[in-house]
Structure 1
Amino acid sequence: MWKIYLMLTLVMFMWGLNLPMLKYLLGYVGPVTMTSLRIFTAGIIVFIILTAMKIIRLPRRTEWIYIIPGMLLNVVAHHYFLNAGLTMTSGTNAALILGTGPFLTAVFSSLLIRVFPSKLQWLGVLLGLIGVSSVVLAGGGLSDISQGDVFIFLSIAVQVLSFLIVAKAAATLDPRLLTAYMLLIGGSTLFIIGLIVEPGELAAFGEVPPIFWLVFGISALFGTAISHMLYNYSVGQAGPTKAAIFMNLNTLVALLGSALFLGEVLTVRHLLGLILIVTGVLFGSGAAEDLWKKRRAKEETARD
């Protein structure tokens, strides 16, 4: 399980650094058009990787039941609302709202698939939420709720719902292969939507600076292709609630990335947030329980 925890930590670093990259890309191209091509590119990358791993196959008819709704929630709706929201609200507000992901996952898991987190995991969810709030409020607090804030909340809500589908699909379909189909079909769907809501926006790609394509490629490769493939695989192994706890790290890394690339100032409150977030991750993911159980088992073995 520790390999899964390390994998999830790596994914959160990639997702966190992807947020300032998206903010940069959205300064040149409309949100739907830009993200459709980025996701379609990521889908091709995942298919290439899985072909090399020799795990490509056509889905069974029953597996399309998971691919289609998973694609609509995880790719089309999530990325549409996320990228549109980022053009209408601050990165601070977006980071805080995205930090509600673990709490929403715990609630949805309890209500929809009857998976109830332990008391220690609920404590981890609460500590992580407090830590995220502390970190974000250090940036100056929340502004009045805007349409962008609503869009960001919708983006994390539909993504959380998609994780429950991924967990169900993992019984017969490799989550990495599920990711490939969702990205490719979802990117194509978003492209059609972009042609409707952003007519003529494709021409904007001809006016972007060379650095745009470097950021675009890094975002597609690491921020979407590899990270989504690893995260969905982790959901299939650890379950949606444990995997989602690590999303608290997403907010922290996003703010660190903003400080590094956008010049934002970090404060003592960010350090406090870091401590709370890491503690929340240890409790909420079950890592603390695993360590305690292993230590207790060793003590019982030594007594025997």
Structure 2
Amino acid sequence: MHNTKIYIVLISIMFIWGINVSAIKLLVGAFMPVTMTAFRIFVAALTVLLTLIVLKQVRKPQSKEWLYIIVGAFFSVVGHHYFLSEGLDKTSAANGGLILGLGPLLTAILSMILLKRKPTSIRLLGFLLGGTGVSFTVLAGGGGLNAASIGDIEVFLSILSQALSFIVIKKASETMDPRLLTGYMLLIGSVVLFLISLWREPGGLTSLANGTPLIWTVFLFSAMLATALGHMVYNYAIGQIGAAEASIFLNLNTFFSLLGASLFLGEKLMPAHFAGLLLIIPGVILGSGALEELALRRKRKRYQHHPSYKKT
């Protein structure tokens, strides 16, 4: 898939993930959070694996690939989702949103250290712009920062787990289809989360009986579209364009989640939210490498039309 098409698909996935924030808010209000998350991810895993079975893309992982799957499941599913649910329960939305906004920059730093990939100055500027835009957007609705708490540390551990998982996925994609990797990670992660829910939420399974038809429709949207399709496509993009480049699109989540909250939960959008978006968009364009790719393409086109250019 051409990079431009990948960028368009990633923006679409960010929109779905942004709407999914409102969906999860509704689900958490109806079910116990860890139990619901385990069940949601399990349904997502089945959706991914059944899709790949139909496409005849399922195979048994090699021994080295199992290591990537287990480590990826621990970081991407268990660590990220567990610490996020725990942390946001103990800190403010402003603090949590700002810390989550560090994800792309954190991924870029880890890519430099672990993958030996140094971002260009243009891409680094994009990461900083995107992070600033996220901070501006979150603070617009959060009323400022509260004092640091244990919840802040847990949210940071959540985004650190996710950033580490992007590195694992990039390494694993050298030999394994990232879509298949996603299915295995979701399956293993959902089982571990379910075991944690039995410990943390003894009445979690009972809470699932309280769902209405509307809530279960929201659940299926979140599980099958946002989690299954979203992670399958996003992890594929990591394999194609890189962990740091794909992670910059996560900055769009903040605005799209606010848009979803306004549409579905009646929350108010402020002018400052749109001002933040004006920083996020150039941040994505610069940080993803889209601007550099466009410049390279134009340079190549000019070179091909030069009188001295000869086809070989």
Q: If the length of structure 1 is used for normalisation, what is the TM-score?
A: 0.96
C-alpha separation in 1, matches of 2:95 and 2:26: 17
Q: Does 1:235 align with 2:253?
A: no
Contact kept in structure 2, 1:35 and 1:83, CA below 8 Å = no
For residue 205 of structure 1, the aligned residue among 183, 208, 218 is 208
Cα pair distance change 1:109/1:156, threshold 3 Å = same
Match of 1:258 among 253, 257, 261: 261
Give the Å deviation of 1:298: 2.5
2:249 pairs with 1:246: yes
Which of residues 190, 193, 218 in structure 1 aligns to 2:193?
Answer: 190
Task: After TM superposition, list the pairs within 5 Å mapping 1:92-103 onto structure 2.
Answer: 92-103=94-105
1:39-71, Cα deviation, whole Å (9 max, x unpaired)? 001000001111111101111112111011001
Is the CA contact 2:126–2:286 (under 8 Å) kept in the aligned structure 1? yes
Q: Aligned partners of 2:227 and 2:152: how far apart in 1?
A: 22
Superposed CA deviations along residues 116-166 of structure 1, whole A, max 9, x for unmatched, are 111100000011011111111111222333333332221111011011000
Corresponding residue of 1:87: 89
Q: Tell me the C-alpha RMSD between the 2 structures.
A: 1.4
Aligned in 2, Cα 1:82/1:160: closer, same or farther, shift over 3 Å?
same
Q: Distance in 2 between matches of 1:94 and 1:262?
A: 20
- State whether residues 95 and 254 of structure 1, in contact with CA within 8 Å, keep that contact through their aligned partners in structure 2: no
More moved, 193-202 vs 256-265: 256-265
Rounded to whole Å, the distance in 1 between the matches of 2:109 and 2:199 is 35
Uncovered stretches (5+) of structure 1, i.e. residues with no partner? none
Runs of 4 or more off by more than 6 Å in structure 1?
Answer: none
Contact 1:74 1:158 in 2 (8 A): yes
Shift of 1:104: 0.4
Aligned-pair distance for 1:97? 2.2
What is the CA distance between 1:287 and its match in structure 2?
0.2
**Residues paired across the two proteins, number:** 304
Matched position secondary structure for 2:29:
coil
- Counterparts of 2:288 and 2:258 in 1: how far apart (Å)? 22
- In the TM superposition, residue 78 of structure 1 has moved relative to its aligned partner by 0.8
Residue 235 of structure 1 deviates from its aligned partner by 0.5
Residue 26 of structure 1 aligns to a residue whose secondary structure is helix
CA distance in 2 between counterparts of 1:269 and 1:3 reads 30
Deviations 1:271-297 (A, max 9, x none): 221111110000000000111122223
How far is 1:94 from its partner? Answer: 3.1
- The letter of the residue matching 2:242 is G
% same residue: 50
Contact (CA 8 Å) 2:179, 2:236: kept in 1 or not? yes
Q: What are the equivalent positions in structure 2 for 1:140-219 lying under 5 Å apart?
A: 140-219=143-222
Match of 1:288 in 2: 291
Query: 1: distance between equivalents of 2:31 and 2:88?
Result: 13
With 33-42 and 136-145 compared, the bigger mean Cα shift is at 136-145
The one-letter amino acid paired with 1:107 is I
